[in-house]
Amino acid sequence: MSNTSITEIVNKNLQTRYKKEARFRRYGQLSIFIAVTFLFIFFTSIISKGYSAFYQAEIFLKIELQQEFIDPDNTNDLEEIRYGDFDGIINESLYSLFPEITKRSDKRELRDLMSSGASIKIQQLVLEDLSLIGKTINIWLPLDDEVDMLIKGNIDVNLPEQSRRISDLQISSIETLQTQGLIKNKFNKTLFVSGDSRESEQAGILGALVGSALMLTITFLIAFPLGVSAAIYLEEFAPKNRFIDFIEVNINNLAAVPSIIYGLLGLAVFINYAGMPRSAPLVGGLVLALMTFPVIIIAARASLQSVPPSIRDAALGVGASKMQSIFDHILPLALPGILTGSIIGMARALGESAPLIMIGMVAFVVDIPTSPLDSSAALPVQVYLWADSPERGFAEKTSAAIMVLLMFLLLMNSLAIWLRNKYEIKW
């Protein structure tokens, strides 16, 4: 009698319990779906905003390199030629395309279509080959960033003329040029070969890339040997006492200290106390090294732990000293794992910007750094700086810089995974 009632109760509840089960399962699926959706939105938004920065509108001009503009006194002196009126030459060529435009103010609007980088390009051509003077060349030259934005469709032409930064005359002349096939989108080489600039069409990430590379080199040279040595000590030699416990607590906490605090440390110690130069990759590398140090220790310890004790016993058994067993047998086996962990730590250091801002790496630096003591930008900081720029051209540049940054991170992580798969031994 009572047995049946329990079965009845159980059977009666079974449906609701199964429903609950299914619902709970769906919650799990939903949350995974949400996480994946975030990632999807994220990449779509960055890529859709940034891909257009990889090409740039250029204009095909027939340029007469007239002597009276470049070197009126016929000095043939490079210094004289450097100050030649290259803008004038370009403008002449541009005016000749629109003989109907004669008013001074209209001519100025026409002039504003060109990027200020165009004259520099001509100047460099002439400086490299003086025999060009007096000849006529056909060349693709960069247009202004506002024109670039217009051609990429980022400017609403239906707005009243006063509220856009490009005039009706400019729009109509661009359309004429486009129908003549004189304006084309070309691969934006500038982005990869030049430093920062106030003009978005001339801004590039090379300076930031070199800065980041210098910094990561310093970080690796400092943090890797120190981190591995510390891990070897703690894993193989450390006695069990309170001092060692204290070290371990320190390491675990350091790995979780907010990165901006490391920036404050760098500012107070390296810059104000030791008098190192501001915004230098050396200081940035040191700060990132302090940050990466505990990460490498933790990775290296895990990797050392995974080497089976039989290896050690065998080495000791054939008469190796403890130090020899570690450096000749355990460390080589643990090294792929250590490297994998370190590369992941370095990738994190590459993406880090808060501590770099603290040590003054937000300075506007045009030159490509040549030594770790030069002022320099870093890739993530460049993203931050460009994201702050009000000019429209910089928005797509920011996304492009982000894509380059993510690509480097992807490369580093793939390298780590490749190392792990190739060399990791399953014991």
Q: Among residue numbers 77 through 106, which ones bind another protein (CB under 8 A)?
A: none
Residue type, 236: E
Q: Does 256 bind another protein (CB under 8 A)?
A: yes
Residue appearing with tokens 């031994």: 425
253 binds another protein per the rule CB under 8 A? yes
For position 297 contacting another protein by CB under 8 A, the verdict is: yes
Nearer Cβ to another protein (147/231) = 231
Instruction: Sheet with 183-187: list strands edge to edge.
Output: 136-142, 55-64, 183-187
Should residue 277 be labelled a site residue for another protein when binding is judged by CB under 8 A? no
Looking only at Cα atoms, what is the longest distance across the chain?
Answer: 120
Report the nearest approach of another protein to the CB of residue 185 (Å). 23
Residue among 338, 336, 330 nearest 310 (CA): 330
Which residues does residue 61 pair with via DSSP β-bridges, in sequence order?
A: 139
Q: Which residue has the tokens 């994190």?
A: 348
By beta-carbon proximity to another protein, the closer residue of 40 and 423 is 40
Cα–Cα dist 381/361, whole Å: 7
| Region 131-190 residues binding another protein, contact defined as CB under 8 A | none
**133 phi and psi, to 5 degrees?**
-60, 130
Indicate whether 370 belongs to the interface with another protein (CB under 8 A).
Answer: no
Cβ–Cβ under 8 Å, residues 251 and 340: no
C-beta closer to another protein: residue 1 or 256: 256
Segment 196-225, which members bind another protein (CB under 8 A)? 225
Site for another protein in 378-397 (CB under 8 A): 380-381, 383-384, 387-388, 395
- Among positions 35-54, residues that touch another protein (CB under 8 A) are 35-36, 38-39, 41-42, 45-46, 49
Number of H helices and E strands in the chain, helices first, is 19, 3
Mention every residue, 6+ apart, whose C-beta is less than 8 A from residue 123: 82, 84, 86
- Residue 302 makes contact with another protein by CB under 8 A: no
Nearer to another protein among residue 137 and residue 261 (C-beta) = 261
Question: Closest CB to another protein among 114 and 362?
Answer: 362
Site for another protein in 19-38 (CB under 8 A): 20-21, 24-25, 27-32, 34-36, 38
